[in-house]
Amino acid sequence: IIVLAYFGSQDIFQRVYASRDKPTAKKSMLITAVIVSSILLLTIPLGLLARIAFPLINPNEIIPTLIQQVSITGLIGLLIVGYLATANSTADTELLTVASNIIRDFKTVKTKNIIVVSRLIMLIIGGVGIAIAALAKDILTLVVTLINLFGILGVIILTTLFWKRVSPISAT
């Protein structure tokens, strides 16, 4: 499901939109999926080792505890900054791509108003995301829910790209 979830993620659409043609989009998606899946699979042993080292800790606090307990003092700040930079980079990519998809799907926005409308859409989607995060029980539940949702979307996206009988009419 994690591999399928990658194809349902919003940042994949950036690669599709930036591609010259459909074969280039397919190739970039597959290469990136292999790379991202490999990186994700490498994090599993890290989580397992952290769970063995800190068996009584709340799963939501594993990464910060691991950084704090295992890292060299000077390296802790750098790791935290990297962790936050990754979160911010992912968040802005997701928000921008969602706004682009909505504008692209509805095509009712005039060219001169695209920036204003996309900013409004990002503000609304960001607000909804903050509300969902505030109401969630824990981060693990959110992650599992998103992986399942993106996994479903991944199947749909892969089908539209690789199944020869899909047409623009059937995709809508």
Cut 0.75: pTM above it? no
- The DSSP H or E segment spanning 110 is none
Asked if 150 and 5 touch (Cβ cutoff 8 Å), the reply is yes
pLDDT of residue 92: 80
Alpha-carbon gap, residue 9 to 119, rounded angstroms: 20
The pair of three-digit structure tokens given for residue 149, joined into one six-digit string: 């949702």
| List of the chain residues with pLDDT < 50 | none
pLDDT of residue 47: 81
Residue 37, SS3 per DSSP: helix
pLDDT of residue 7: 65
- The DSSP H or E segment spanning 109 is none
pLDDT of residue 8: 65
Q: In the block, which residue shows the tokens 């799907």? A: 105
Distance of CA 82 to the CA centre of its chain: 17
With a CB cutoff of 8 Å and minimum separation 6, the contacts of 97 are: 10, 11, 13, 14
